[in-house]
Amino acid sequence: MNSPTIDTDEVLVDCQSVWKIFGDKSDAAIKAVTEGGLTKTQVLSDYNCVVGVSNASFQLRRGEVFCVMGLSGSGKSTLIRLLNRLIAPSLGKVLVKGKDLARLGAAELREMRARHIGMVFQSVALLPQRTVLENAAFGLEVQGVPKAARNETARKALELVGLAEWVDRYPSQLSGGMQQRVGLARALAADPEIILMDEPFSALDPLIRRQLQDEFRQLTKKLGKSSVFITHDLDEAIRIGDRIAIMKDGVIIQIGTAEEIVTNPADAYVAEFVAGISRLHLVRARSVMGSVADYRSRQPAVSIDQLPKAAPEADIDELIGLSMQSERDGIAVVDKGAIVGIVTVRDLLHGVKGTRSAAPTAGAPAS
């Protein structure tokens, strides 16, 4: 899961305490919510306004895939539309590449959307009267790139998604998965740094979905793109997200890596979500290990040097393999030559079950 060697500290999208309230009296509602602390249901009954996004803050860094996971009505689709200002926030700021979207003029905003922010839709939205190639070249056409040049770029983008043979077909001749690849190629052809993915794979069948998830992740990493990816499927978020934000009722409840969220859910809602997730490849040695001193006090007879050794990044699956080959009941976790902890069989079982044996380690919820 390592990112290529680019400046991963650079913040591309900075979402600062953003609110979106829909309705005629949204101005009054926003005041009541921020000053009076009204709940979502109170706002609905008192002001007839719907809270879409409530005080959301996060940052998208260069090169990462940031997943926003939530059920329908959680505000995730509203959130992603705030990032390219298809929806203007009621309160708060969205900065893209350091520029406040609210302060851009109409032409600057168009320029920002055309060159720096690509978007892929759940509905795909391919123009039915245009060929696959013309659809893929659409963004460049809008920018006024001459036909030969934009077709060339679009052709390359279609090659990237494996549709080189289909350029002259019409969208209606393609399967759902292929249509979504065209949608991705259209976003890639304009070569934006940021790609907004609005539940792109939700309507596809499971096998195709998984294939596209893997391809999407490989492609974004290879091209060094950054992406905000909306999904209602936690498996999908874990599969492709470097970091995941969990949303409920317009609020971001927790932000963290898949491992952090699975091993250390912020509340009962998140815990319920992650309950069914397999931890074999998610939980790593460093988050289940106990301290060396602890192990010594319980097993004074065992020499720690003779235990099998594993890296802190080794996952549960690997650790189970190691402990099955060994007669001892512990695995030493070695970081930079020093033993930093011991994983016992009991720790492993806790790791698989998702319960906690040692004191909590990494994974505090981000603010």
Partner 1 sequence: MDSSALTDMFDAWIDAALEWLVDNGDFAFSLLRSMLEGFYDGILWVLDLPPFYVVAAVFAVLGWRLMGLGSGLLVGAALVFCAAMGLWPETTSTLALVVTATVLALAVALPTGVVAGFWPAFDRVLAPVMDLIQTLPPYIYLLPAIALFGFGPATAMVATVVVALPPALRLTSLGIRLTPVEFIELGQASGMNGWQMFYKIRLPFAMPSIMAGINQSLMMAFGMVVIAGIVGSGGLGQTIYEAIRTLDIAKAIDGAIAIVVLTMVLDRLSQSGAGIGQGAQP
Give residues in contact with partner 1 (CB under 8 A).
81, 84, 86, 109-115, 117-119, 121, 123, 125, 127-130, 138-139, 141-143, 170, 172-173, 190, 196
Report the distance separating Cα 180 and Cα 189, nearest Å.
14
Q: What is the token pair recorded at 93? A: 């700021």
**Closest CB 196 distance from partner 1, rounded Å:** 8
Torsion of CA 265, 60, 237, 113, to 10 degrees: 150
51: nearest Cα among 79, 83, 16, 13: 79
Task: Identify which of residues 146 and 206 has a Cβ nearer to partner 1 in the complex.
Answer: 146
Report the distance separating Cα 245 and Cα 256, nearest Å.
7
With 0-12 / 13-18 / 19 or more C-beta atoms within 10 angstroms meaning exposed / middle / buried, residue 149 is: exposed
283: nearest Cα among 254, 316, 257, 255: 316
**Closest CB 85 distance from partner 1, rounded Å:** 9
CA 149 to chain centre: 33
Task: Identify which of residues 198 and 260 has a Cβ nearer to partner 1 in the complex.
Answer: 198
Strands 99-100 and 91-96: antiparallel
Interhelix angle 316-325/345-353, rounded to 10 degrees, is 150
**Closest CB 77 distance from partner 1, rounded Å:** 11
Task: Identify which of residues 72 and 129 has a Cβ nearer to partner 1 in the complex.
Answer: 129
Would the CA dihedral through 155, 193, 66, 38 be positive or negative? negative
DSSP string, 106-134: HHHHHHHHHHHEEEE-TT----TTS-HHH
Asked if 87 contacts 253 with a C-beta cutoff of 8 angstroms, the reply is: no
**Closest CB 82 distance from partner 1, rounded Å:** 13
**Closest CB 115 distance from partner 1, rounded Å:** 8
Task: Identify which of residues 117 and 219 has a Cβ nearer to partner 1 in the complex.
Answer: 117
Task: Identify which of residues 81 and 209 has a Cβ nearer to partner 1 in the complex.
Answer: 81
Task: Identify which of residues 60 and 289 has a Cβ nearer to partner 1 in the complex.
Answer: 60
Task: Identify which of residues 13 and 253 has a Cβ nearer to partner 1 in the complex.
Answer: 13
**Closest CB 6 distance from partner 1, rounded Å:** 25
Report the distance separating Cα 20 and Cα 236, nearest Å.
26
Whole-Å CA distances, 37 to 25, 52, 76, 171: 16, 15, 22, 48
**Closest CB 5 distance from partner 1, rounded Å:** 30
Task: Identify which of residues 132 and 285 has a Cβ nearer to partner 1 in the complex.
Answer: 132
**Closest CB 226 distance from partner 1, rounded Å:** 16
